[in-house]
């Protein structure tokens, strides 16, 4: 089996990367930057996002796994003290995988020439390029839903629901739901502008289309990447047909990860 390791640029992560690389090659696994079947990220969730985007063109052929070297991560959920066991498990392949849904974002420009299709593991965030409020027509399944005015809009995946979405008051969604969640950032609500105010959870095939009403330049972040887009005609969001696969060598249920990260480090595990 071919594998690659993407690590954060600190001493601890680089040491763990070197150890894993050495042992796994001794177990006859091949290190391949071009065609890995297993992508191991060593660092935090940010490192995992980086690893995902580096190999998102190989989602069908690749499984991902994350080792965390900082605090507990959502994607990087293996600890360094599990390393030896993990290396042996990886070497014994084949392994089990679990799949999580992704978000598809299509950004179309006014000239009609350019169309960017992007995949997000966490979320897309839309703000204006100059810090003024965004004014967007929100369309759901081809029907006008509301005209949003405020700081911005965040649309997240279920696994991204514990990231920015959570800070915006969105719900935490179990990644077995194929859904996306739209949350508002400081919407302006008065007699002129009125938005729903609550997070919306859309199932598969319910496309959400955002059409700029005023500006056409936006700061659009996909996970940890931010770009300025000019001449934006529309931003289309829906559950992607692609999924991300995680290699799984032991049970660590999503709700345990949520509890251990946000509530308290629990000793007792509850079943999946």
The neighbour count for residue 251, using CB atoms within 10 Å, is: 9
Angle at 271 between CA 269 and CA 272, to 5 degrees: 125
Count of positions on this chain that bind ligand NAP (CB under 6 A): 17
Alpha-carbon distance of 195 to 99, in angstroms, equals 33
Burial of 62 per CB tally in 10 Å (0-12, 13-18, 19+):
buried
Asked if residue 126 binds ligand NAP (CB under 6 A), the reply is: no
Shortest distance (Å) from residue 25 CB to ligand NAP = 27
Does the annotation place 260 within a ligand binding site? no
- Asked if residue 162 binds ligand NAP (CB under 6 A), the reply is yes
Q: Choosing from 9, 10, 45, 77, which is the catalytic residue?
A: 45
Strand partners, 116: 107
> Which residues, at least 6 apart from 131, have a Cβ–Cβ distance to it below 8 Å?
none
13 binds, among Mn ion, ligand NAP, none (CB under 5 to 8 A by kind): none
- Whether residue 194 is annotated as binding a ligand: the answer is no
- CA proximity to 125, closest of 181, 177, 193: 181
Binding site for Mn ion (CB under 5 A): 44, 46
- The verdict on whether 45 is a catalytic residue reads yes
Which C-beta is closer to ligand NAP: that of 128 or that of 221?
221
Nearer to ligand NAP, 133 or 162 (CB): 162
Q: Which of 50, 43, 40 is nearest to 73 (CA)?
A: 43
Q: Is 163 annotated as a binding residue?
A: no
The minimum distance between CB 246 and ligand NAP, in angstroms, equals: 13
Active-site residue list: 45
Binding residues vs ligand NAP (CB under 6 A): 44-46, 49, 70, 73-74, 122-123, 159-160, 162-164, 167, 223-224
């Amino acid at each position: 089996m071919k594998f690659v390791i993407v690590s954060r640029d600190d001493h601890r992560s680089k040491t763990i990367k070197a150890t894993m690389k050495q042992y796994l090659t001794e177990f006859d696994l091949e290190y391949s930057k071009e065609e890995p079947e297993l992508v191991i990220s060593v660092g935090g969730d940010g490192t995992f996002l980086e690893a995902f985007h580096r190999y998102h063109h190989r989602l069908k052929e690749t499984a991902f796994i994350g080792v965390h070297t900082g605090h507990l991560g959502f994607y990087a959920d293996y600890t360094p003290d599990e390393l030896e066991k993990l290396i042996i498990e990886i070497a014994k392949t084949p392994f089990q995988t679990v799949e999580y849904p992704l978000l598809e974002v299509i950004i179309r420009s006014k000239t009609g020439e350019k169309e960017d299709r992007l995949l997000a593991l966490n979320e897309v965030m839309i703000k204006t390029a100059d810090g003024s409020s965004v004014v967007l027509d929100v369309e759901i399944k081809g029907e006008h839903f509301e005209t949003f005015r405020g700081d911005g809009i965040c649309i997240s995946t279920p696994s991204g629901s514990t990231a920015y979405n959570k800070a915006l008051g969105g719900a935490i969604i179990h990644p077995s739901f194929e859904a996306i969640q739209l949350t508002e950032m400081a919407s302006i609500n008065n007699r002129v502008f009125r938005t729903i105010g609550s997070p919306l959870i859309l199932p598969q095939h319910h496309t959400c289309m955002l059409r700029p009403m005023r500006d056409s330049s936006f700061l659009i972040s996909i996970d940890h990447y931010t770009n300025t887009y000019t001449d934006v005609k529309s931003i289309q969001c829906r559950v992607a047909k692609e999924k991300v696969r995680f290699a799984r060598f032991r049970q660590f249920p999503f709700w345990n990860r949520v509890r251990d990260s946000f509530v308290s480090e629990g000793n007792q595990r509850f079943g999946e």
